[in-house]
Amino acid sequence: MSYLDLARGRYSCRSFEDRSVEQAVVDAIVEAGRIAPSACNNHPSRVMVLDTPELLEKAAACQPRFARDGSIFGAPLIFLICSVTEDAWVRPYDQMNSSEIDTSIVCDQMMMEATEQGLGTCWVCHFKPEVAQEQFNLPEGVYPYHMLVCGYPADHIADSEHREARTIPLSDFLLK
């Protein structure tokens, strides 16, 4: 499958089968994140695998609005993607810290590998970071940016016409 086919086939899945994800699949997703590029090769990203009922319940506590069946959207697997912000590259001109960018690249690569492995995914940023820090006892200086919710999908992708209608037109996407 080409990368564009993979990218077109990925969607935000919010309904999952009640079955766990095999360890080999989890390992492949983690590896995709581990090898992600980062600014100045600093690699500030850190990932926590949430795959037990206790850990999934803690993830759901970070955003109760999405809680379902003891997890977020009932998913059997969530990756909490964090950054050691002091390890990230900082742009000297305006002090922009690359943590958000670096963790986004990690999350994206993991999301696409999960899709390649036949999983549904949903990239969740709408959660309370301070609750995640407390729930997962994150060390000082480790900031949670994203949750990548994964599992075998129990729903279907929208038809291509519906998806195209929700995508930005190329004429708007390209700046001139």
Residue ranges of domains in the chain, CATH in brackets: 3-173 (3.40.109.10)
- Which pair of structure tokens corresponds to residue 62? 């970070």
Which band of pLDDT confidence, cut at 50, 70 and 90, is reported for residue 101? very high
Which band of pLDDT confidence, cut at 50, 70 and 90, is reported for residue 8? confident
Q: Evaluate if residue 43 carries a pLDDT over 90.
A: yes
Look at the chain and count its residues: 176
Q: Are 111 and 123 in contact (CB under 8 A)?
A: yes
Which band of pLDDT confidence, cut at 50, 70 and 90, is reported for residue 1? confident
Calculate mean pLDDT across residues 137-151.
98
**Least trusted range by pLDDT, from 7-21, 66-80, 99-113, 152-166:** 152-166
Strand partners, 80: 48, 147
